[in-house]
Structure 1
Amino acid sequence: MSEGKALQSLIKNLRGERNNVELSRDCGGIPTQSRLQQISTAPIKLFPDPETILGLARGLNVTVGEVVGACAKDLGLNMGGPDESALVLAGARDLPDSAQNLLVGMSRELQSAYRSKASR
């Protein structure tokens, strides 16, 4: 398992001179300043909600996949796929159906949110 610092490193390396208030503003207000403080200083234990992932991608000017990848690494989930457009969680097929459904649901929510943002 990872040391839980991939997301912290991503934020640290890309925030520039912005404090949490400024970065939260650039993220569209989600994550909030206090949530940014939390995820910048303590390893995550669960995937952030889709809005937080989208906000971080926007505020850090990276793809959603980069944020999801950092989160997955922190949670010890190995990612890989047949091509760069695919996101596959190694071992996901071995999870119980309820966990697989949760992953599929999260993916659909992220895709829907991305499509909504892109159509604006």
Structure 2
Amino acid sequence: MTRNLPGLIRELIGTRSFEQLAEDCNGQPSKHRLYSMVREPLKQFPSVESIQGLAQGLHVHPNTVIMACAESLGLADCEDKGPALVLPESARELTASQKSIVVSTVIEFAKANIRARQDDA
């Protein structure tokens, strides 16, 4: 499975609306631009501010957003083995909100590990 920008946004927006995601992105991109990123073919790379905002709002590294944009533009073949976070089979019973909480928790653990490595350096 390949993860392009619309797929990345759909996968990680969780239960949030485009408006809520735009707020989490500090307004870059706007809710209208987010909607068009999902619904219309990408014609060029988003601005640096939009890439940084998407990374913040989706809780991923900016490289993840850049590679998803490159895939959307036909500039890269980003083979992906599945969702960003593979949950156990029993997780199918979780609600979308519960899954979103699990993803957020894993992201916080990852951030804590990054901070710990930076502190050790």
The reply to whether TM is greater than 0.5 is: yes
Counterpart for residue 60 of structure 2: 62
Map 1:88-99 to 2 at 5 A: none
Q: SS at 2:43's partner residue?
A: coil
Name which of 24, 27, 30 aligns with 2:25: 27
> Compared with structure 1, are the counterparts of its residues 16 and 34 closer, same or farther at alpha carbon in structure 2 (3 Å cutoff)?
same
> Which residue type is aligned with residue 57 of structure 1?
A
Map 1:1-120 to 2 at 5 A: 6-78=4-76
Where structure 2 has 5 or more consecutive residues not aligned to the other structure, the ranges are 79-121
Q: Taking every aligned residue pair, what percent have the same amino acid on both sides?
A: 42
**Misfit runs of 4+, over 3 Å:** none
Question: Partners in 2 of 1:74 and 1:36 — Cα distance?
Answer: 14
Q: Deviations over 1:11-59 (max 9, x none)?
A: 0000000001100000011100111111011120100010000000000
What is the Cα deviation at residue 79 of structure 1? 6.8
TM-score by length of structure 1 reads 0.60
Q: Which protein has greater RCO, CA pairs closer than 8 Å, 6+ apart? A: 2
Q: SS at 1:51's partner residue?
A: helix
TM-score by length of structure 2 reads 0.60
Q: CA RMSD in A?
A: 1.9
> Which residue type is aligned with residue 12 of structure 2?
L
Question: Partners in 2 of 1:50 and 1:79 — Cα distance?
Answer: 21
Question: Partners in 2 of 1:11 and 1:37 — Cα distance?
Answer: 10
Instruction: Report how many residues are paired.
Output: 77
What is the Cα deviation at residue 78 of structure 1? 2.5
